[in-house]
Structure 1
Amino acid sequence: MAFTRATGKHRLPSRMTRTTRRTVGVAALATTGVVGTLAAPAFAAESEIEQTGPLKAVTMGDTVAHEVDAQAMAQRQAAEQAAAREKAEAAAEKRAEEAREKAEKEREAKARAAREAERKRLNAYTAPITGSYVSTSYQAGGGIWSSGSHTGIDFHAASGTAVHAVGSGTVVEAGWGGSYGNQVVIKMVDGTYTQYGHLSSIGVSVGQTVTPGQQIALSGATGNVTGAHLHFEARTTAEYGSDMDPIAYLRGHGVNV
């Protein structure tokens, strides 16, 4: 008895049928040589992937290694440059500090030298009349002096000649002094006193400090005199009668008279 399918209805081949057909197809391809033709390229492609895959990995690994090395080298160079800059800056700062210290020492040395020079200048002594000479000596006798002898020395000087302080001190008298005419008395820094008499004019006032060689007056012929000159005394006090040898006094302070 024969079976037939209904019109319009189709059934999928059974699993056994599909397997059988696939087997037959493969067998057919094998018979015609198609399998051999297709298999070779497939196997070749698979082989190429297996061969080139590791090469790509190796190439990428080398590139990364080179980049790491380059970065490390750049970092080392940057560190070396930074260290070199720091070293140069430190050396420059050290030189600058040494220069500052040297300049400071030089300034201190100059200041000390200036102070020493000023001290020497202030402690120096000079003659009261420049380029003059002693015309009347100390303790010279004669009736023209009330004490019977000369209490100072006279320096030859025309009227109007500059009179200088013989050393540093402070003016304690400046004005009329009786027989001395116009006079100036100075208390010296060593505690002694000097007196300048017969002045035509006075250029300092009481309380004023003076320095060696400073002009304090002009010589003249005021007071008890016979002519223009400078009367100079060295004293232990500001008062008359405390006189001491003015030549020895000046020479004891380095003045050649």
Structure 2
Amino acid sequence: MAFPRATGKHRRPSRLTRKGAGAVGVAALATTGVVGTLAAPALAADNAAESTTVEKTALNEAASMDVAVVQHIAAQAGAQEEAADRAAAKAAAEKKAAAEAKRKAEAERKAAARAAKEREAKKRAAREAERKRLNAYVAPVSGSYVSTGYQTGGALWSSGSHSGVDFHAASGTSVVSVGRGTVVEAGDGGAYGNQIVIRMSDGTYTQYGHLSSIGVSVGQSVTPGQQIGLSGATGNVTGPHLHFEARTGPDYGSDIDPVAYLRGHGVDV
């Protein structure tokens, strides 16, 4: 005969009953979402931790990327700055070289201009010196003196007087043209012995007599100081010397004072 278990409020459930009820309660809680609600905070914490890790990783990667970008940009900027410095240095060097080349070219131009000016000045000076030389007059015998004066009287001369002057000169002494001119006579002159007559550039004439030798020919141009012969004692003489005349024409009888003539052309005799 079975006796039913009393269920009054003052009777405590048995252990088995409590355990069964607990299991049923857990199942019920699971079914109703209570367990899920209780488990949610743990899942959320895990998700938050994972999210934080991901964010940190992303931040680290971003930071690394930022550093790389900054370094790359800095490297580019440095390279560009270095290239700019090189370009500036090159431009400065080229500018300096161009300025130096210009300065050198200008200096060379000025030097060439000075040299050309100096050459022209030297040419002008040489031409002037030559002009003066050609227009200058000299004594017919260098270092000599007049031994017999102009118009000295005596039986030695057919006209009764000396038509020129005699320059002291040993035989073989150099005789030169007193100025620029053209030879019109060169040969035997009778009483004058070997003689030379020159038409001077100013239209006057000079004569050189008693020569031992003649060194020019008719038609030849001569210049001041040019040797034309050697002194001697040919013709009507008493000893070696140079007979010199100045004339207005080529022939005997047109003589003028030879000393005054030479002095008038700047010759100290």
Same fold by TM (over 0.5)?
A: yes
CA offset digits 1:198-242 (Å, max 9, x no partner): 111111111222222222111122122232221110011111111
Q: 2:189 aligns with which of 168, 177, 180?
A: 177
Q: For residue 155 of structure 1, what is the amino acid of its counterpart? A: F
Q: Provide structure 1 residue ranges, at least 5 long, that are not aligned to the other structure.
A: 1-23
2:214 matches 1:208? no
Tell me how far apart the structure 2 counterparts of residues 102 and 71 of structure 1 sit (CA, whole Å).
45
Tell me how far apart the structure 2 counterparts of residues 131 and 88 of structure 1 sit (CA, whole Å).
61
Q: For residue 188 of structure 2, what is the amino acid of its counterpart? A: W
The 5 A counterparts of 1:86-105 are 86-105=98-117
2:180 matches 1:168? yes
Q: For residue 212 of structure 1, what is the amino acid of its counterpart? A: P
Q: For residue 65 of structure 1, what is the amino acid of its counterpart? A: A
Greater Cα shift, 107-116 or 194-203: 107-116
Q: Provide structure 2 residue ranges, at least 5 long, that are not aligned to the other structure.
A: 1-35
TM-score normalised to structure 2 length:
0.77
Name the CA shift for 1:41/1:150 in 2 (closer, same or farther; >3 Å): same
2:208 matches 1:196? yes
Tell me how far apart the structure 1 counterparts of residues 267 and 253 of structure 2 sit (CA, whole Å).
24
2:81 matches 1:81? no
Name the CA shift for 1:38/1:241 in 2 (closer, same or farther; >3 Å): same
- Displacement of 1:164 in angstroms is 1.5
Give secondary structure in 2 for the equivalent of 1:141.
coil
Find the structure with the greater CA-based Rg.
Answer: 2
Q: 1:41 aligns with which of 41, 47, 53?
A: 53
Give secondary structure in 2 for the equivalent of 1:234.
strand
C-alpha RMSD of the superposition? 2.5
- Displacement of 1:88 in angstroms is 0.8
2:122 matches 1:122? no
Give the length in aligned residue pairs.
232
- Displacement of 1:34 in angstroms is 6.5
In structure 1, the residue matched to 2:6 is none
Give secondary structure in 1 for the equivalent of 2:56.
helix
TM-score normalised to structure 1 length:
0.81
2:229 matches 1:217? yes
Identity between Structure 1 and Structure 2 (%): 58
Greater Cα shift, 37-46 or 243-252: 37-46
Name the CA shift for 1:37/1:147 in 2 (closer, same or farther; >3 Å): same
In structure 1, the residue matched to 2:258 is 246
Tell me how far apart the structure 2 counterparts of residues 47 and 138 of structure 1 sit (CA, whole Å).
133
- Displacement of 1:244 in angstroms is 0.7
Tell me how far apart the structure 2 counterparts of residues 52 and 132 of structure 1 sit (CA, whole Å).
116
Q: For residue 215 of structure 2, what is the amino acid of its counterpart? A: G
In structure 1, the residue matched to 2:168 is 156
Tell me how far apart the structure 1 counterparts of residues 158 and 101 of structure 2 sit (CA, whole Å).
83
Name the CA shift for 1:238/1:44 in 2 (closer, same or farther; >3 Å): same
Give secondary structure in 2 for the equivalent of 1:68.
helix
CA offset digits 1:108-129 (Å, max 9, x no partner): 2222222222222222212112
Q: 2:76 aligns with which of 49, 54, 64?
A: 64
Greater Cα shift, 244-253 or 210-219: 210-219
Name the CA shift for 1:63/1:143 in 2 (closer, same or farther; >3 Å): same
